[in-house]
Amino acid sequence: MEQTRRVAAAALVALLLASAAWAQTLEPVARGLVQPVAVADAGDGRLYVAEQGGRVRVVEGGRVLPGAFLDVSSGISTGGERGLLGLAFSPDYVSSGRLYVDLTDRQGATVLVRYLRDASADRADPASAQVLLRVAQPYANHNGGGLLFGPDGFLYWGLGDGGSGGDPQANGQDPATLLGTLLRLDVSGDGLRPAAGNPFLERPDARPEVWLYGLRNPWRFSFDRATGDLYIGDVGQNAYEEIDRIPAGSTGGANLGWNVMEGDHCYQPAEGCDRAGLTLPIVTYPHAAAWGNSVTGGYVYRGSALPALQGAYLFADFGSGRVWTARPASDGTWTVELLLETGFNVSTFGEDAAGELYLADYGGGVLYKLVP
């Protein structure tokens, strides 16, 4: 049985809420995790899971290995939206041993830290920690935290608007701050510098690290491994959640709208806002029982185990536990179908080397794989 619902919005978005008869299920891969918030593939045949409390755990052979690959719990602030929030491995990790984490330090600032692997101990070397960038946070929420290397080899880092509610400091519309942005960084040397080709390199009124701005709280973003398109799940205020898409080949500089807009609706002002120059979301959905209230961005499926999902973008809602697929329609809108009712808080997705997808249960501490 299929139920169709239109969400009033720009002509960009058409949402179809459906009970999709896909032949797939969730298979538990590993149990015993504590508040998992990020899943990363290092290219060594294992998966690495960041726990919000400060540990990075290794999943191998269907189990969580004892101990921690990295433990930063003694040097961070946790609780609410703080903690260890992001994890990424250099594309050449197997040879270089470089990995990067996003965490909130004892003062509540968001910090990007690089570590090196201690090959002899099969752990990250805690003594190798190098702080690459520290961003002060005016409030405790909206810390973002996503880290991912793009197809261009640069490190992308998502930061929220600084917190509170409604963006009281107007950070979202200000590329002169790092808050409310997606950064594009060159970490190939010993330190960090803005990536070549960034859109604001020559602008004195903007930060050169900024790639995109106008974000509220980007909670998980990804690149389509087949096309290079960038997808971002941006958590809304009180009414709408959104998925943004930046096509491959973009030169950056897009303004994704917050806090002029929440989703594809005016926020400030509530009516008659100026949408000129804004990049509108491809998908929005309302805070409602049939949907949820906090988006978790996912991935475009490019694996082989589930051919019916090939090319579909999967995303979830943390509050409702629902998982949807989104596909472009011929008229430029996007069709969204309900894929799964997980029954748990989906805190993050993960993708392995083969393109197969994983979901993490935040409260239950289980990592699941999407399987036939």
Q: What is the signed CA dihedral for 194, 215, 302, 370, rounded to 10 degrees?
A: 130
Which has more confidence, 17 or 251?
Answer: 251
Q: Which residues contact 130 (CB under 8 A, 6 or more apart)?
A: 113, 114, 115, 190, 191
Q: Is residue 339 part of a domain?
A: no
> Is the bond preceding residue 143 a cis peptide, omega within 30 degrees?
no
What pLDDT score was predicted for residue 19?
38
For the beta carbon of residue 1, count every other beta carbon within 10 angstroms.
Answer: 4
Q: Is residue 40 part of a domain?
A: yes
Q: Is residue 359 part of a domain?
A: no
Residue 136 has pLDDT above 50, yes or no: yes
pLDDT digits (tens, 9 = 90+) for 258-273: 999 999 999 999 999 9
Q: How confident is the model at residue 204 (pLDDT cuts 50, 70, 90)?
A: very high
Instruction: Report the chain's terminal Cα–Cα distance, integer Å.
Output: 21
Cβ(169)–Cβ(225) under 8 Å? no
Amino acid letter, residue 308: A
Pairing state of beta strands 55-60 and 63-64?
antiparallel
CATH code of the domain containing 62: 2.120.10.30
What pLDDT score was predicted for residue 18?
38
Residue 97 has pLDDT above 70, yes or no: yes
Tokens of 308: 């019916």
User: How many structural domains comprise the chain?
Assistant: 1
Q: Is residue 263 part of a domain?
A: yes
What pLDDT score was predicted for residue 24?
78
Q: What is the mean pLDDT of residues 3-8?
A: 30
Q: What is the signed CA dihedral for 75, 213, 14, 356, rounded to 10 degrees?
A: -40
Amino acid letter, residue 219: W
Q: Is residue 67 part of a domain?
A: yes
Q: What is the mean pLDDT of residues 226-239?
A: 98
Three-class secondary structure assignment of the chain = CECCCCCCCCCCCCCCCEECCCCCEEEEEECCCCCEEEEEECCCCCEEEEECCCEEEEEECCEECCCCCEECHHHECCECCECEEEEEECCCHHHHCEEEEEEEECCCCEEEEEEEEECCCCEEEEEEEEEEEEECCCCCCCCCCCEEECCCCCEEEECCCCCCCCCCCCCCCCCCCCCCEEEEEECCCCCCEECCCCCCCCCCCCCCCEEEECCCCEEEEEECCCCCCEEEEECCCCCEEEEEEECCCCCCCCECCCCCEECCEECCCCCCCCCCCECCCCEEEECECCCECCEEEEEECCCCCCHHHCCCEEEEECCCCEEEEEEECCCCCEEEEEEEECCCCEEEEEECCCCCEEEEECCCCEEEEEEC
> Is the bond preceding residue 175 a cis peptide, omega within 30 degrees?
no
Q: Is residue 368 part of a domain?
A: no
What pLDDT score was predicted for residue 224?
98
- 51: containing domain: 29-300
What pLDDT score was predicted for residue 23?
59
What whole-number percentage of the chain has pLDDT above 90? 92
Sign of the four-CA dihedral 42, 31, 362, 328: positive
pLDDT digits (tens, 9 = 90+) for 241-295: 999 999 999 999 999 999 999 999 999 999 999 999 999 999 999 999 999 999 9
Q: What is the mean pLDDT of residues 188-194?
A: 95
Q: Is residue 108 part of a domain?
A: yes
pLDDT digits (tens, 9 = 90+) for 18-63: 334 445 799 999 999 999 999 999 999 999 999 999 999 999 998 9
pTM for this predicted structure: 0.94
What pLDDT score was predicted for residue 236?
98
Q: Is residue 205 part of a domain?
A: yes
